[in-house]
Amino acid sequence: MKKQRAIIIMLGLVIALGSAYGMYTLAGELEKKTPVVIATSDIKSYEKYGPNNIQLVNMPVKYVLPNAITSINILAGKRAKGNIYQGEQIIQERIEEVKLKPSVNERLLFIPTSDVVMKPGQKVDIYLIFIPGKSTYDGAERLFADKTVATVISDTGQSIYEKNDTIRNQSGIEILLTHEEIVVYLERMQYSKDVIVRHGEGGER
């Protein structure tokens, strides 16, 4: 009698454990997942996203960060904003949005410079040195601050647009300005004898 009771108890425990395991497995299978892009290796700031450093994986929704990127295509041609570590989810805020091409209301303005090494994407300040007695302006004036370098032009005429490239023997840069800013620049240039370009406080973008 005792053996029968023990067997019944054991069978009950086995059935209970089996049911619990089945429910746990079913819950896991039913847990909603979503695709999310993660870094498969460390990605340096401004490095291009590509098959060598990102991958699309399915992850439980509860672990997915807000604004996480859910498609590889979204990152096509994009670059990393800040350093990203292996296994980290790629979120919208980690996409570099450097704008090196003029919009409808912008123009590219060539500024001659050879004393300061530049590369696309950097921010620059533009100063004008005015001719004494030729205008109401006196000495040097910072005309523009933190303007984006769109193109760097070498002394041989070669142009670069990629932010990770640098021309050291450069003859000038092209910066993004609005139409109104270009009008101001041309007006002030009538009284200027020199243009000075310096790295802006905004650094690289």
Whole-number pLDDT of residue 89: 95
Q: What is the residue-level pLDDT of the chain in tens, covering all 205 positions?
A: 556 665 666 655 556 555 655 555 555 555 789 999 999 999 987 788 889 999 999 999 999 999 999 999 888 878 788 889 999 999 999 987 666 777 778 888 888 887 788 888 889 999 988 877 666 666 788 889 989 898 888 888 778 877 777 788 888 898 989 989 989 988 888 888 888 898 887 555 5
Residue 85 has what DSSP assignment?
Answer: -
Q: How far is CA 39 from CA 34, 48, 55, in A?
A: 16, 12, 6
φ/ψ (deg, to 5) at 37: -90, 130
Distance CA 203, CA 114 (A): 19
Helix (H) or strand (E) holding 9: helix 2-30
Cβ proximity of 58 and 34 under 8 Å: yes
Distance CA 81, CA 48 (A): 10
CB neighbourhood size of 96 (10 A): 18
Which tokens in the block code for residue 67? 């604004």
Whole-number pLDDT of residue 59: 93
Which residues of the chain form CATH 3.90.1210.10?
A: 34-96
Cβ proximity of 183 and 201 under 8 Å: no
| Residue 157, helix vs strand vs coil | coil
Q: How far is CA 4 from CA 13, 16, 22, in A?
A: 14, 18, 27
Assign a CATH topology to domain 34-96. Answer: Type Iii Antifreeze Protein Isoform Hplc 12 (3.90.1210)
**What is the reported pTM?**
0.50
* Tokens 């450069």 -> residue: 170
Q: How far is CA 9 from CA 18, 20, 23, 26, 53, in A?
A: 14, 16, 21, 25, 55
| Residue 6, helix vs strand vs coil | helix
Q: How far is CA 27 from CA 36, 59, 91, in A?
A: 21, 15, 28
Whole-number pLDDT of residue 85: 95
Cβ proximity of 127 and 143 under 8 Å: yes
Cβ proximity of 155 and 114 under 8 Å: yes
